[in-house]
Each structure stands twice: as C-alpha cells, then as structure tokens.
Amino acid sequence: TLFTNGAADLAASDRDRLERAGVRVEERTVAELRGPGDSLQAVALADGTERSCQGLLVVAPMHQRSALASQLGARIADAASPIEAVEVDGMFRTTVAGLYAAGDISATPPPSVATAIAAGSTAAKAIVHDLVEELYPDPVGDPLRRQPPA
C-alpha cells in the first residue's frame, strides 16, 4: 500500500504501474501509527479505518534551512537538485572564493551521515590548503589549486 496522506499527485501511467504491481494507492489522511512499544502493527486513517502494516518507508523531504549561501552569491545547482543544493567543486569550494559547502547543502551524492563526514573532511583539507596557498603562493602547478566549478 502506498499511503499518500491526501490526494496523490501521480500520473496515470504511474498509477497503472502501481496497480499492475499490486500496490494499492491509499489517499485518505493518515492519523496515527499504531503498535506496542516501537513496533508497528497498523496505520490508522482519519476516518477510523485501520490498515494492518508491519513496516513503513517514509519520504523525508529535504530543503535548505538557510539562504546564506545564496545571499553570499554562491551558485545553486541546476533545477534537477531537489534541495536547492549549492554548486561545489571536488574539494567542496563554492563559486564564491573562501566559501565552502559540505554535507547536505552541497550538490554531492545522496545525503547520508557518511558522505557528510567525508565531505566535511575534504572541505577542511581544501580550506587549510587554500589558506596556506594564500600565505605562501606556489609558482609550481598544484592539483589542488582552486578551480571554479564548470
């Protein structure tokens, strides 16, 4: 069962695919999840109907909670980005010199704690490198030298 918690914004072709796969689309409002302790036994709908259920996948919509990067002039990734992610290079530098973005705010692989930790570590290395480069410019080519995102 696909619980949409209200009117579903599904194309007819998507509804057909779900129906062929045996997935019922339930558009009534979800009122409560029921079960003892931390286990799930049923989904209660606003009209009092209960649907037996032992597991549930929940879509967690993401959005940026701050417009700071945009206000500072950082470029936002293309419209395909569902969370208005900030465009970064491979070292998590934004399009604004001295501004870095790592974790869920950056246009990187799907959000997770592991990727956020790795991104933060990489950004920290870039920050240290860029500060050292600023203090002691290196006339020799450097692979970590700031390259603006394409």
Cα 63 from Cα 83, distance rounded (Å): 5
Per DSSP, 86 falls in state B
Superfamily of domain 68-135: FAD/NAD(P)-binding domain (3.50.50.60)
Most confident of 58-67, 99-108, 114-123: 114-123
Cα of first residue to Cα of last residue in the chain, in angstroms, is: 43
Please write the tens of the pLDDT for every residue from 21-36. Answer: 999 999 999 999 999 9
With contact defined as beta carbons under 8 Å apart, do 70 and 87 qualify?
no
pLDDT tens-place string over residues 31-84: 999 999 999 999 999 999 999 999 988 877 777 888 899 899 999 887 556 678
The whole-angstrom separation of Cα 25 and Cα 8 is 8
Residue 55 is which amino acid? G
Dist. CA 44–CA 150, nearest whole Å: 49
Residue type, 132: V
pLDDT of residue 61: 74
Q: Give yes or no for residue 99 having a pLDDT over 90.
A: yes
**CATH 3.50.50.60 residue ranges in the chain?**
2-52, 68-135
Q: What gap in Å lies between CA 100 and CA 14, rounded to an integer?
A: 39
Structure confidence at residue 111 as a pLDDT band (50, 70, 90): confident
| Top mean-pLDDT range of 17-31, 76-90, 102-116, 131-145 | 17-31
Write down the pLDDT at residue 146.
60
CATH of domain 2-52: 3.50.50.60
Average pLDDT of the residues of the chain: 87
Q: What is the pLDDT of residue 65?
A: 83
Percentage of the chain exceeding pLDDT 70: 88
